[in-house]
Structure 1
């Protein structure tokens, strides 16, 4: 299966919510972003979330960017420059 950075971010956000037993709605509240923005990221409609958006999510989850990206989801991603 082809996995992009956007797919990996989506999977990682879902994984972190499951670990913390919080809904995407709750995450959007603690991150200070609209539910639609988070929904667009986690559904794959937003293909490439910015680092600043991921940082807001990390802040809401009380983790660092390093913790977010230190995951098997980001191992062996397909090259995105074609």
Structure 2
């Protein structure tokens, strides 16, 4: 599974678990709704770390907790 899809699925899962809409997440995290939607539909290939930090803040969780999921453990990184 591509990294973008894993990231997107994780955000969607956490929003569902916390019962918050994407609009509320965008508002709480100060990430523009269009940016969030591009991450969720995987059209953003590499969201910046500061965007991820803001999203984690909007989800009221640490970055380490966000990435502490089985899906992220199997990602293999290739250097180009």
Same fold (TM over 0.5): yes
| Cα deviation 1:18-55 (Å, max 9, x = unaligned) | 00011111110111111101000011010211111100
For 1:6-17, list aligned pairs within 5 A.
6-17=4-15
1:78 positional shift: 4.0
Relative contact order, higher structure (CA 8 A, sep 6+): 1
The count of corresponding residues between Structure 1 and Structure 2 is: 80
Q: TM-score, normalised by structure 2?
A: 0.89
Please report how far the alpha carbon of residue 80 of structure 1 lies from its aligned counterpart in structure 2 after TM superposition. Answer: 3.8
TM-score under structure 1 length normalisation: 0.87
5 Å-filtered alignment, 1:1-82, equals 3-81=1-79
Q: Which ranges of 4 or more aligned residues in structure 1 deviate by more than 2 Å?
A: 78-82
Runs (5+) with no aligned partner, structure 1: none
CA RMSD of aligned residues (A): 1.4
